[in-house]
Amino acid sequence: MSVSMPPSQKPADPPRFLPAGDGAVVVEFGSAVDEALSDRVMAMDARIAEAGIEGVVETVPTYRSLLVVYDPLAIRARQLIPRLAELAANAGEATTVGRRWVIPVCYGGDHGEDLEWVAKVHDMTPEEVIALHSEAIYRVYMIGFTPGFAYLGGLPEILHTPRRETPRTLVPAGSVAIGGQQAAVFSVAAPSGWHMLGRTPVRTFDLKRDDPFLIAPGDRIRFSPVAAAEFAALAARAEAGDIVAWHEEEA
Amino acid sequence: MAALLVVDPGPLATLQDLGRVGYQRFGVTVSGALDERALRLANRLAGNEAGEAAIEFTLAGGTYAVEAAACRIAVAGGDFPLSINGRRAGAYASHTLKRGDRLAIGRAQSGTRGYLAVAGGFDLPRVLGSRSTHVRSGLGGMDGQPLKAGSRLPLADAERFDGPDRWLKTSLWPKARDVVRVVLGPQDDLFTEEGKTTFLSSAYRILSQSDRMGYRFEGPPIRHAADYNIVSDGIAPGSVQVIGSGQPIIMLADRQTTGGYAKIATVISADLPVLAQCRPGNAVRFRAVGVEEAEDLRAAMLDGIERLAAAFYRAGSAADDTANLLGVNLIDGIVSPEEAPPR
């Protein structure tokens, strides 16, 4: 007789292994944007890195899946998939707890052209939008689109805002923006239909640093409002190579 | 400084190698040569490692002048007419040039991409491990930009090369094809059976809105089973995304790292060079193969290039037809490994 387990103890379904040509396998944990799925992706990503499987070239973690890029001259899919399945079965929880970043943001005005509009759409004051946006803790689900561009989950539902009908041709680097139910920090200038609430002096991608990428999937982010004068001071320090973001513990 | 002067870069020329590997998790595009096979051949003809950075050009090659005591070059890819100081010269061959020589590469008679390799390679920094240019993010190559008239590409070791020039006779050049093989998936289950049949039985014409990022196609619509949007996941090279209208887009070297359209199939790596040589207006058909066959075909393609490199005709010497003909079979990826000669 089968006994149904309470939801919290129900073992998760094993991932699906889907072919992506002769050099990649998709390890798919689910099809939704969901914290638990993201935890499993990050745990699996960590296990693959630890396992050091010969022939695995790189992995690309996303909201719900992991693209495992391999060299078919070093390992074949029929050998790789059973090894990945074994790792998935014992992946456990993500052990590497992501870092918690505090990112300073100058909201509104020239730094956030859409703040007033977003406030109006939601029948709020700009200050209320800033408070909601900067009190939330965001999870970095994945990095994509451009080098260092962080896709953030955790935007308060009340701030969910459809994208612009006509995308802007260029949104400046450092833009802190929202689109749909997501939030983001723009690493480099790029076209976008998202709404710019503010700008950070933090460079999430800077080739001048030894590690050019500041934020990794699995990290958490909180935004801290700063005035225009402080933004300018921080921007000057960022220009000189300072990270100007800080860790939550130090905040 | 020993350099190759860009007199005229043609319509689009960028520096490309085998791509920027290892940074996709940070959103960094792989880039790299669209026709990996031609890049490897150009380099092997020039006497380089197969993956050295070379100039990738599109439809026409442009004009270059040598600012070094000597410089060995080789061109491979589509059927591009070459001239050196106004005299005709062969593609799929190395040529040893001297100071002041002018190399002109004309419009392709067939094919689309060409590769100009120089012996010793270009003395430009690797950015995140690669010299490949990604214009959108401004990485690699010369300041992350396409080549411009007047640019000087510094040569790393121009005067160091060994032996006589080498060449590959025309019958051994990779052949154009209009059938491209794919592995179904990763999201083929999001399409109807009829949709999959349509995809594998119809001709799709390449549209002019095609570039290094991807090829757009037009043909009978491929039916999704439900929504065409998925929650974004990673994009492998050759991924066949099907947009809402049912038309396919094949993601190439400059693709973004993640995307939200369902992917019905992935073009096999041995056939990406075939696709790279097709141009807008050409029609292509897709044929499904299994993962293992695709893996075998990749191995056979790389093996074929090295067999050809080992058997390059030495200028003026007798030809070894057998080795070369076996080589071309392999390089074209037509025979299966079971039919290949013993190693």
CA A161 – CA A164 distance, rounded (Å): 9
Our CA angle for B336, B222, B272, nearest 5°, is 35
pLDDT for the residue A5: 44
Kindly report the average pLDDT of chain A as a whole number: 91
Mean pLDDT of A71-77: 98
CA-CA-CA-CA torsion sign (A168, A170, A175, A181) = positive
Residue of B nearest to A204 (CA): B26
pLDDT for the residue A95: 60
DSSP secondary structure, B116-140, as one string:
EEETT-B----BTTB---BTTTTBS
Q: A67 and B233 in contact by Cβ < 8 A?
A: yes
pLDDT for the residue A92: 79
Q: Which residues pair with A24 in a beta bridge?
A: A69
CA A22 – CA B340 distance, rounded (Å): 20
Q: How confident is the model at residue A86 (pLDDT cuts 50, 70, 90)?
A: very high
Q: Which one of B40, B233, B298 would you mutate to disrupt binding with A, by most A Cβ within 10 Å of its Cβ? A: B233
Q: A67 and B238 in contact by Cβ < 8 A?
A: no
Q: A19 and B185 in contact by Cβ < 8 A?
A: yes
Per-residue CA distances from B176 to A161, A198, B72, B110, B112 (Å)? 49, 51, 27, 8, 11
pLDDT for the residue B96: 96
pLDDT for the residue B319: 44
Considering only the beta carbons, identify the residue of A21, A145, A216 that sits closest to B269: A21
Residue of A nearest to B182 (CA): A21
pLDDT for the residue A11: 65
Q: How confident is the model at residue B303 (pLDDT cuts 50, 70, 90)?
A: very high
Q: B233 and A64 in contact by Cβ < 8 A?
A: yes
Question: Please, which residues 100-159 of chain A have a Cβ atom closer than 8 Å to chain B?
Answer: 142-149, 151
* pLDDT at residue B92 tops 50: yes
Q: Please tell me if residue B230 touches chain A, with a CB cutoff of 8 Å.
A: yes
Least confident of A192-206, B82-96, B165-179, B318-332: B318-332
Considering only the beta carbons, identify the residue of B23, B185, B270 that sits closest to A18: B185
pLDDT for the residue B227: 80
Q: Please tell me if residue A182 touches chain B, with a CB cutoff of 8 Å.
A: no
ipTM greater than 0.90: yes
* pLDDT at residue A71 tops 90: yes
Q: Which residues of B touch A20 (CB under 8 A)?
A: 183, 185-186, 234, 236, 239, 263, 266
Considering only the beta carbons, identify the residue of B28, B233, B292 that sits closest to A62: B233
CA A163 – CA B275 distance, rounded (Å): 35
CA-CA-CA-CA torsion sign (B200, B240, B279, B208) = positive
Per-residue pLDDT reduced to its tens digit, B123-135: 999 999 999 999 9
Question: Please, which residues 270-309 of chain B have a Cβ atom closer than 8 Å to chain A?
Answer: 270, 291-292, 294-295, 297-299, 302
Considering only the beta carbons, identify the residue of B21, B25, B268 that sits closest to A143: B25
From B78, B82, B76, B6, select the one nearest B40 (Cα to Cα): B76
Q: Which residues of A touch B294 (CB under 8 A)?
A: 21-22, 72
CA B52 – CA B50 distance, rounded (Å): 6
pLDDT for the residue A32: 86
Per-residue pLDDT reduced to its tens digit, A212-221: 999 999 999 9
CA A29 – CA A20 distance, rounded (Å): 16
CA B262 – CA A180 distance, rounded (Å): 20
Question: CA of B99 to nearest chain A CA: how many angstroms apart?
Answer: 36
Considering only the beta carbons, identify the residue of B24, B187, B267 that sits closest to A21: B267
* pLDDT at residue A105 tops 70: yes
Per-residue pLDDT reduced to its tens digit, B239-288: 999 998 999 999 999 999 998 889 999 999 999 999 999 999 999 999 99
Per-residue pLDDT reduced to its tens digit, B201-227: 999 999 999 999 999 999 999 999 988
Element containing residue A197 per DSSP (H, E): strand A195-199
From B255, B186, B25, B20, select the one nearest A151 (Cα to Cα): B25
Residue found under tokens 């002067």:
B5
Q: Which residues of A touch B21 (CB under 8 A)?
A: 57-58, 69
Q: How confident is the model at residue A96 (pLDDT cuts 50, 70, 90)?
A: low
Q: Which residues of A touch B258 (CB under 8 A)?
A: 60, 62, 142, 144-145
Q: Identify the DSSP state of A194.
A: S
Mean pLDDT of B25-35: 97
Q: Please tell me if residue B260 touches chain A, with a CB cutoff of 8 Å.
A: no
Question: CA of B169 to nearest chain A CA: how many angstroms apart?
Answer: 29
* pLDDT at residue A188 tops 50: yes
Considering only the beta carbons, identify the residue of B24, B136, B267 that sits closest to A60: B24
DSSP secondary structure, A59-98, as one string:
EEE-SSEEEEEE-TTT--HHHHHHHHHHHHHT--S--SPP
Least confident of A86-90, B137-141, B307-311: B307-311
Q: Which one of A16, A18, A22 would you mutate to disrupt binding with B, by most B Cβ within 10 Å of its Cβ? A: A22
Residue A196 makes CB contacts below 8 A (sequence gap 6+) with A111, A112, A113, A114, A115, A171, A175, A176, A177
Question: CA of A248 to nearest chain B CA: how many angstroms apart?
Answer: 22
Q: Which residues of A touch B237 (CB under 8 A)?
A: 21, 23
Mean pLDDT of B144-167: 93
CA A234 – CA B141 distance, rounded (Å): 31
Task: Tell me if A223 sits within 8 A of A197, measured CB to CB.
Answer: no
Q: Please tell me if residue B152 touches chain A, with a CB cutoff of 8 Å.
A: no
Q: Which residues of A touch B137 (CB under 8 A)?
A: 146-147, 188
Q: Please tell me if residue B238 touches chain A, with a CB cutoff of 8 Å.
A: yes
Share of chain A above pLDDT 90, in %: 76
Burial label for B162, CB within 10 Å (0-12, 13-18, 19+), is exposed
Q: Which residues of B touch A78 (CB under 8 A)?
A: 291-292
Our CA angle for B79, B80, B84, nearest 5°, is 140
* pLDDT at residue B342 tops 70: no
Q: How confident is the model at residue B113 (pLDDT cuts 50, 70, 90)?
A: very high
CA B78 to chain centre: 10
Peptide bond before B186: cis, by omega within 30 degrees of 0?
Answer: yes
Q: How confident is the model at residue A169 (pLDDT cuts 50, 70, 90)?
A: confident
How many other CB atoms are found less than 10 A from the CB of residue B120? 21
Mean pLDDT of B92-113: 96
Pseudo-torsion of CA A155, A157, A159, A165, nearest 10°? 100
CA B202 – CA B207 distance, rounded (Å): 16
Q: Tokens at residue B48, please?
A: 């380089």
Element containing residue B28 per DSSP (H, E): none
pLDDT for the residue B42: 98
Q: Which residues of A touch B267 (CB under 8 A)?
A: 21
